[in-house]
């Protein structure tokens, strides 16, 4: 590494540290958390209700059909988190785990899955049954942000990939599933930043599916 590269690296590190240090204030207003770089005033307006006394500079930080959040757009980052309570639990969709001999993936059952044969084979070997009693759910990246899954029945090797368009079209930020449940929760990374809150301004959203009769059914949000 030459001197110019070292100086550039130090400047990048300094800039990243400075940016991280600036994001030091999180305001709570109603069910929302608003990330800011410092002290400011924030107003939460519920549309259709009486307008509160405004204390902020009045810049629109966030707006949807129900809420308007005002603040200082020089200080607020634009990241908004909303309190979240899931109405779907893994325990509500239980299934017993298969204990017989595990079949290898059969790519004749879904020819499109053959393009991802290395991922599917490796994850079947490494993970065994990790979903819905007798399946391996394999997942791999396809860009940023983009992920895909295939579901392999370990009793007969049948692969379900082509049928999973709806799940794969929604999947961008990880997912949660268990070996003893038929529930799939898509984009669970949106819950990681602030416990009990979901990233409300992300391009993705939490989506729930249940796996029944080798098909996914989307659950109401």
**Residues whose CB is less than 8 angstroms from the CB of residue 197 and which lie 6 or more positions away in sequence, other chains included:** 33, 81, 82, 83, 84, 191
Predicted confidence band of residue 77 (pLDDT cuts 50, 70, 90): confident
Where does residue 133 fall: left (phi above 0), alpha (psi -120 to 50 degrees), or beta otherwise? left
Rounded-to-integer distance, Cα 98 and Cα 156, Å: 12
SS3 34: strand
Phi and psi of 147, rounded to 5°? Answer: -140, 160
> At residue 78, does pLDDT exceed 90?
no
pLDDT digit string, tens, across residues 150-192: 999 999 999 999 999 999 999 988 999 999 999 999 999 999 8
- The pLDDT value recorded for residue 16 is 47
Q: What is the largest CA-CA distance in the chain?
A: 67
In the block, tokens 């509160």 appear at: 52
Predicted confidence band of residue 87 (pLDDT cuts 50, 70, 90): confident
> At residue 21, does pLDDT exceed 90?
no
Instruction: Give mean pLDDT, residues 206-217.
Output: 96
Predicted confidence band of residue 14 (pLDDT cuts 50, 70, 90): very low
- The pLDDT value recorded for residue 204 is 84
Closest by Cα among 182, 135, 126 to 154? 135
Predicted confidence band of residue 146 (pLDDT cuts 50, 70, 90): confident
97 forms beta bridges with none
Predicted confidence band of residue 1 (pLDDT cuts 50, 70, 90): low
- The pLDDT value recorded for residue 145 is 77
Query: For the range 39-45, what are the long-range contacts, defined as Cβ-Cβ under 8 Å and sequence gap of 24 or more?
Result: 39/75, 40/71, 40/72, 40/75, 40/76, 41/71, 41/72, 42/69, 42/70, 42/71, 42/76, 43/69, 43/70, 43/71, 44/68, 44/69, 45/69, 45/70
Of the listed ranges 96-105, 131-140, 199-208, 212-221, the least confidently predicted one is 199-208
Closest by Cα among 181, 206, 201, 210 to 79? 201
Instruction: Give mean pLDDT, residues 198-215.
Output: 92
- The pLDDT value recorded for residue 67 is 94
Closest by Cα among 87, 84, 85 to 32? 84
Average pLDDT of the chain is 89
Q: Give the Å distances, CA to CA, from 149 to 138, 153, 184.
A: 5, 13, 11
Closest by Cα among 214, 115, 106, 215 to 157? 106
> At residue 19, does pLDDT exceed 60?
no
pLDDT higher for 81 or 142? 81
């Amino acid at each position: 590494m030459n001197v110019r590269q070292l100086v550039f690296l130090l400047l990048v590190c300094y800039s990243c540290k400075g940016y991280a240090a600036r994001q030091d204030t999180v305001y709570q207003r109603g069910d929302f958390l608003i990330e800011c770089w410092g002290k400011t005033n924030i107003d939460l307006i519920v549309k259709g209700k009486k307008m509160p006394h405004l204390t902020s500079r009045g810049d629109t930080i966030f707006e949807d059909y129900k809420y308007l959040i005002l603040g200082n757009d020089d200080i607020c980052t634009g990241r908004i988190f909303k309190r979240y309570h899931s109405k779907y639990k893994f325990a509500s969709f239980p299934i017993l785990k298969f204990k017989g001999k595990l079949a290898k993936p059969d790519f004749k059952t879904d020819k499109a899955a053959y393009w991802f044969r290395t991922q599917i084979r490796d994850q079947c070997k490494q993970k065994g049954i990790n979903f819905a009693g007798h399946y391996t759910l394999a997942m791999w990246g396809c860009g940023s942000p983009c992920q895909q899954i295939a579901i392999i029945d370990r009793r007969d090797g049948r692969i379900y990939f082509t049928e999973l368009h709806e799940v794969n079209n929604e999947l961008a930020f990880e997912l949660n599933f268990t070996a003893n449940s038929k529930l799939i929760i898509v984009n669970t990374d949106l819950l990681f930043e602030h416990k009990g809150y979901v990233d409300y301004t992300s391009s993705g959203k939490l989506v729930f599916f249940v796996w029944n009769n080798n098909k996914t059914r989307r659950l109401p949000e």
